Amino acid sequence: MKRMPRVLFVIPGVAQGHSMVFARRQAAALTTQGFDVQIFDLHSRTSLQKVFGEFRRLRRVVRAFRPQVIHAHYGTVTAMFAALGTGRIPLVITYRGSDLNRLPSARGLRQAAGLLLSQIAALRATRIVCVSRQLRDLLWWRWARVTVLPSGVDPGVFRPEPRKNLRGQLGWLEEERVVLFNAGLDSRNKRLDLAENAVAEARRWVPSVRLEVLDGHVAPARVPALMNAADCLLVTSDAEGSPTIVQEALATNLPVVSVDVGDVAERLKGVTCSRVTRRDPSALGRALGEVLNPPRRSDGRRRAEEFSSTRIARELGRLYRQILKEQRG
C-alpha cells in the first residue's frame, strides 16, 4: 500500500477547549483518508521568551516525527514561527481572515505587525491556501502559489433535523422566532451591536423574534442542534475570510441573513430563504422580517458538497502530493 505523506499541522492555541476547531477537524478528515497527521499546538505567540521555548519544542517534534510537509493554520506569528522552524521542509500556510484582513476593531501597532508577518511569511511558503478569493487578493505576492479552499464542514454532522424536538430539549418556545448569532471571542468584529439593532428593527414585522448569541465557549457538539432549532443565522461582521458558521448553516438548511463580507455572497448565491443586504440595522431588520415571516427552511443543503470536509481533505491531499512530487523532481 502506498504510504501517505506525514504532515505536521502548526495550530495557534491549546488542544483543550474549542480553539481552531475547524483546523483540528481538517486534520481528522485527512487522517481518515490515510494521511499521517500530527498537531503541534503553538501555546504562546506574545511572549518572546515563551516563543523561543516553543521553537525548541518544534525542532524536537520535527526530529522525532520527520514530517514531509508542515502546514501552518494561520498567518501572523503562527506562519512566521513555522517559516523559521521548518528548515528545508515544504511549508503550506492557510490564511483564514483576520491574519490578512484589516479589522476596524483592532487598530494599532499590534495589528499592523501581525499583518506584516503574514505577508513576509508568504515568501517562505511552498504553497498557500486562502479560505476565500477575497483573502487571496489581499496578498502582496505569490498569487500563483495560492489555492482557494474553505475550511469545510462534515455534512454527516451538520444535517437537517426536526426542529420541534430540539426546541423542547433547549427550552425554547415553539412560537418564538430565534435568530442565531455567532459572536465568538471577538464580538466587536462580529458586530454584536449591529446584530442587536437589526433584531430590534425586525420586531416591527416579527414581534416574537429573539437573538440567541453564541460566544466562544459554546461546545462545537451543540452547534448542529442549535442550528436546527433556530429560524435564521445573522452575520454582521466587519471582516471575515470564509465564515465556517455560514457553511454549517447551509448544510442544515438554516436560512442566512448577512452583510456582504468575506465569501458569504458567493456561498448564498441562488440559495432560497436567505439574504445579503446593506450594513444597516433597518435593511438587516427588513431582511430578517422577510425570512422569518413565515418561518421556513432554505435549500442550502444542496451546496454542501462544495465545502464538505471530505472534499477539502481530498484537495489538500492532492496539494501535498504535488508538493512532494515537485520536491523529488
Task: Give the DSSP per-residue string, 58-116.
Answer: HHHHHHHH--SEEEE-SSHHHHHHHHHH-TTS-EEEEE-STTTSPPGGG-SHHHHHHHH
Q: Looking at the structure, tell me whether residues 94 and 207 fall in a common domain.
A: no
Q: Are 55 and 47 in contact (CB under 8 A)?
A: no
pLDDT digits (tens, 9 = 90+) for 146-170: 999 998 999 999 999 998 889 989 9
Q: Looking at the structure, tell me whether residues 62 and 180 fall in a common domain.
A: no
Q: Looking at the structure, tell me whether residues 138 and 249 fall in a common domain.
A: no
Q: Looking at the structure, tell me whether residues 229 and 267 fall in a common domain.
A: yes
Q: Looking at the structure, tell me whether residues 92 and 204 fall in a common domain.
A: no
Q: Looking at the structure, tell me whether residues 116 and 247 fall in a common domain.
A: no
Q: Looking at the structure, tell me whether residues 243 and 124 fall in a common domain.
A: no
pLDDT digits (tens, 9 = 90+) for 217-262: 888 899 999 999 999 999 999 999 999 999 999 999 999 999 999 9
What stretch of H or E contains 324?
helix 309-328
Q: Is the pLDDT of residue 1 over 60?
A: no
Within a domain: 257: yes
Mean pLDDT of 287-307: 94
Say which CATH number the domain at 242 has: 3.40.50.2000
Q: Looking at the structure, tell me whether residues 236 and 176 fall in a common domain.
A: yes
- Give the gyration radius of the chain's Cα atoms: 20
For 173, the domain range is 163-306
What mean pLDDT is reported for the chain?
92
pTM confidence score: 0.92
Q: Looking at the structure, tell me whether residues 49 and 120 fall in a common domain.
A: yes
Mean pLDDT of 186-195: 91
The answer for residues whose C-beta is within 8 angstroms of residue 134's C-beta and 6 or more apart is 241, 262, 263
Provide the pairing of β-strand 209-215 with 6-12: unpaired
Cis peptide before 150 (omega within 30 of 0): no
Number of domains comprising the chain: 2
Within a domain: 1: no
Q: Looking at the structure, tell me whether residues 172 and 295 fall in a common domain.
A: yes
Within a domain: 141: yes
Q: What was the pLDDT predicted at 260?
A: 96
Q: Looking at the structure, tell me whether residues 101 and 218 fall in a common domain.
A: no
pLDDT digits (tens, 9 = 90+) for 14-32: 766 667 888 999 999 999 9
CA 1 from chain center: how many Å?
34
pLDDT grade for 77, boundaries at 50, 70 and 90:
very high
